[in-house]
Amino acid sequence: MSDILCEVKLSDIDLTDERYKISFSDHDIIFLAQSIKEAGLTYPPIVRPAGKKFIIISGFNRVKAQIYNKKTKIVAYQTKPDAGDYQCLLKSITALAFQRPLTHCELIICTRRLSSFLDKEQIAEKSPAIFNTKLNIRFVEDLLTIGTLPDKALELIHMGNLSLKSAQRISSFEKATMEIFLNIFSKIKASSSKQFEIIQHIMEITARETINPTDFFKTKAIRAIILDANKEPGLKTTQLRAYLFERRFPAIFQTHQLVREKTAALKLGGNIKLLPPENFEGQYYSISFKVKNYDEFKTHSHHLAAALEKNELKEIFNL
pLDDT of residue 26: 62
Q: How large a percentage of the chain has pLDDT more than 90?
A: 78
Q: What is the mean pLDDT of residues 180-209?
A: 96
Tens digits of residue pLDDT in 57-86: 999 999 999 999 999 999 999 998 788 999
Residues of the chain with CATH 3.90.1530.10: 1-100
Q: In this predicted model, what pLDDT tens digit does every residue of 219-263 receive, in sequence order?
A: 999 999 999 999 999 999 999 999 999 999 988 878 888 888 888
Who wins on pLDDT, 73 or 318? 73
What average pLDDT does this structure show over 85-111? 95
Instruction: Report residue 169's pLDDT band, with 50, 70 and 90 as the boundaries.
Output: very high
Does the pLDDT of residue 268 top 90, yes or no? Answer: no
Query: How do residues 281-317 score in pLDDT, each as one tens digit?
Result: 788 889 999 999 999 999 999 999 998 989 988 888 8
Buried b (16+ CB within 10 A) or exposed e, 248-285: bbeeebeebeebeebbeebebeeebebebeeeeeeeee
Higher pLDDT, 24 or 248: 248
Q: What band does 161 get if pLDDT is binned at 50, 70 and 90?
A: very high
Instruction: Please compute the mean of the pLDDT values over residues 135-163 and round it to a whole number.
Output: 95
For position 1, what pLDDT does the model report?
Answer: 47
pLDDT for residue 255:
83
Alpha helical stretches, state H, 115-191:
120-131, 137-146, 151-159, 164-170, 175-187
CA angle 142, 144, 147 (to 5 degrees): 110
Q: Supply the pLDDT for residue 73.
A: 96
Determine the pLDDT at residue 25. 61
Nearest-10 crossing angle of helices 60-68, 30-39: 80
Fold of 1-100: 3.90.1530
